[in-house]
Amino acid sequence: MINFHKDHATLVNVALMGFVLLSTGVAVTPALSMQDNNSPLPDMPKMTLQEQRGLNVYVSEGCIGCHTQQVRNIEMDKTWGSRPSIPSDYYYSKKRPDIWHNTPSLLGSERTGPDLTNVGVRKGSEAWQMLHLYNPRMVEKASIMPRYGWLFTEVDSTAVKPDDFVLSVPADKLEHPGHKVIATERAKDLVAYLISLKQAPLPQGVAPEDFIATPGANGKPVAAAVAGAGAAAPAVDGGAVFSSVCAACHQPDAKGLAGAFPPLAGSPVVNDKDPLKMVDIVLGGYSARPNYGPMPSQAANLNDEEIAAVINYVRSHFGNDAPPTDAATVKTQRAVIAPETASK
């Protein structure tokens, strides 16, 4: 008869066996089977070496402390992606940075800042990402995100090399007049990674999981979510689209940011009698002048109604005065300029 009170060696060995059995069953086996049961989506671009290095910068700078990368299957997460996240979305990020570090848990649990699952679609501009990391307050006036100044160096303008990324920092914001701010390799890697963050489409014919409507106080879905087909779709608010998409670059007062993003207030393109040029810019992106970076296309980001609404809003606010366009015109132009987004 074993007496655990007297035989300490047996006590320790039995406890150890119990521990090993439990951890194998509860943690190790499920982890191994999950690791083998995960493949990338067919249309998911492979992560490049630069993006992988950028991911490691993202981890080491502690961005995970404020940003999640998971679209949960609940209604309030709809703003962060077109479908709830699935295990395959993390396929390429499951590499360990090195032998000393564990696989990073990019899902995160704190959302002090926005979810970044799809940020490459929302903020696909290298110029914006660089300025935002250099000083978030330059592009987002009330931002509480810390600045990451150590990812950049200020050099004399004669020392700029051709392959340097020069930030469009307004002249009055420079510490030393005549200097230029250039991105370090770490900043370039990080921005390449951020821009690569886009939800890959599911294979043809596979329906995404539904978002669960937020229940009201009595446990029933709230009225707006169950109103269904009977209710008329509310008109799109162009001002809201402007604030959430365009204002990041063109600024909330549409006056732009000298040297980085042009003003839309008083712009001849915006005030052109024919709205077509502006429709084409929003759908196809725009790179017309060397002193501004390129504007990324917003076609994958906004549907026809939203684009028409935001264009009409800009053309009739901020002192602008030009005739409106409509969703049908946007649809026709989309078929030519961005046919791959026709399902929008």
Contact residues for ligand HEC, defined by CB under 6 A: 58, 61-63, 65-67, 112-114, 116, 119, 122-123, 125, 128, 136, 140, 143-146, 148, 190, 194, 245-246, 248-250, 261-262, 264, 267, 269-270, 278, 281-282, 286-289, 292-296, 298, 310, 314
Give least dist CB 188 to ligand HEC, A.
13
**Cα separation, 252 vs 232, whole angstroms:** 30
Give least dist CB 2 to ligand HEC, A.
54
**Residue 48 or 143 having the CB closest to ligand HEC:** 143
**Cα separation, 256 vs 138, whole angstroms:** 11
Give least dist CB 87 to ligand HEC, A.
23
**Cα separation, 278 vs 312, whole angstroms:** 10
**Residue 11 or 248 having the CB closest to ligand HEC:** 248
Range 107-144 burial, b when 16+ CB lie within 10 A, else e: ebeeeebebbbbbbbbbbbbbbbbbbbbbbebbbeeee
In sequence order, the 6+-apart residues with CB closer than 8 A to the CB of 184 are: 151, 152, 153
**Residue 61 or 213 having the CB closest to ligand HEC:** 61
Give least dist CB 313 to ligand HEC, A.
8
Give least dist CB 307 to ligand HEC, A.
7
Largest CA distance in the chain: 97
**Residue 137 or 220 having the CB closest to ligand HEC:** 137
- How far does Cα 288 stand from its chain's mean position? 25
Give least dist CB 66 to ligand HEC, A.
3
**Residue 62 or 215 having the CB closest to ligand HEC:** 62
**Residue 284 or 293 having the CB closest to ligand HEC:** 293
At 259, list the tokens: 């040297």
In sequence order, the 6+-apart residues with CB closer than 8 A to the CB of 321 are: 271, 315
Is 208:155 a contact under the CB 8 Å cutoff? Answer: no
Give least dist CB 261 to ligand HEC, A.
5
In the complex, residue closest to ligand HEC by CB: 113
**Residue 103 or 112 having the CB closest to ligand HEC:** 112
**Number of Cβ atoms within 10 Å of the Cβ of 81:** 21
